[in-house]
Amino acid sequence: MSALGGKAAGGDSINPVGTVVGLVIILVSIGITAVLGSSLVIPLIGIIVGGALIAFGVHFVPVGGAPAAMGQAPGIATGVAMLAAGAGLAGLFGGAWAFETTGDFLISIIGGAVGGGLMMAITCLMVNATYVFAMGIPAASGKIAKDPITGDTFPEYKSQGTEGHGLPFISFVGGVIGGLIAGLGGTIIYIELLDAYSTGLATLMQAKPEAIAPLAISLAGIFAIGFFLVNAVLAAYNITGTIEGPHDPKFKRVPRAIIGCAVASAFCGLISLLLVTNIGM
């Protein structure tokens, strides 16, 4: 039982001043990048879109935290940031591999999305298998009375003294969508960075692109994980604890997470793209 929930959250509203300052930070980041090198603007925009997608995706993932481990609340019994990271990085693995073999942007990002979705589909399935086959507990949501997809009703399936348990179908679908979107975002960031680094570093280091490839891949991979963690944790701060999926009232908070992660990604992206400019060295 977590005694942490929600203390720090300032409601569901959007802070207008903060949002405007955030948009200014995004525009300034794009502006500085354009001055440093016009070819870097597209990667930066890709990074911003990727960061916003990660924030969006994390909100879909049904995470119950500690109460879910006792069958006290629905969702997956682990932390929100790390579960999303697990799915997103599995997607990154698939996307990076697809980019290596096909070199096609569209196939790679969709391949990455499918990798994340597949990971979440298997994980959510095993959660339900554990609840139903090992613990004899049917799935029930605590936040809504009726599943919007299947029409199942929940109150009578909720055992007394709990807020629901298991993964209702809407949460399963939310988990898969979350994995898809988080995998998509992570892969976009990775490919954009890889693109910027493999050409940029080759010129900077005066080396052949083939020789620089392992370096560019590792750099883009480490940066992508860094971006992923920053965005996932910011989104988790927005959720404050647990969320059941797209039907949860907390899902209404998603716009400010998208703006926030876009701002953070824009600025992190600006810094990470400094690597291939002539500043320093």
Range 55-84, binding another protein (CB under 8 A): 65-72, 76-83
Distance CA 143, CA 53 (A): 25
Single residue of 27, 35, 104, 252 touching another protein by CB under 8 A: 104
Single residue of 105, 132, 146, 199 touching another protein by CB under 8 A: 132
Tokens 């940066």 belong to 223
Q: Which of residues 147-186 bind another protein (CB under 8 A)?
A: 150, 152, 156-169, 172-173, 176
45, 10, 3, 16: which is closest to 195 by C-alpha? 45
Q: Is 11 in the site for another protein (CB under 8 A)?
A: yes
Q: Is 259 in the site for another protein (CB under 8 A)?
A: yes
- At residue 76, the 3 state secondary structure works out as strand
- At residue 200, the 3 state secondary structure works out as helix
Report, in Å, the least distance between residue 192 CB and another protein: 14
Tokens 């280091």 belong to 205
Single residue of 52, 58, 139, 181 touching another protein by CB under 8 A: 139
Burial code of 230-256, b = ≥16 C-beta within 10 A, e = fewer? bbbbbbbebbbbbbbbbbbebbebbeb
Report, in Å, the least distance between residue 158 CB and another protein: 7
What is the helix (H) or strand (E) element at residue 221, kind and residue range?
helix 209-239
Report, in Å, the least distance between residue 40 CB and another protein: 13
Distance CA 41, CA 33 (A): 6
Count of alpha carbons within 13 angstroms of residue 86, beta-carbon side: 17
Single residue of 36, 58, 98, 184 touching another protein by CB under 8 A: 98
Q: Is 54 in the site for another protein (CB under 8 A)?
A: no
Q: Is 196 in the site for another protein (CB under 8 A)?
A: no
Q: Which of residues 199-238 bind another protein (CB under 8 A)?
A: 207, 211-215, 217-219, 221-223, 225-230, 232-234, 236-238
Q: Is 122 in the site for another protein (CB under 8 A)?
A: yes
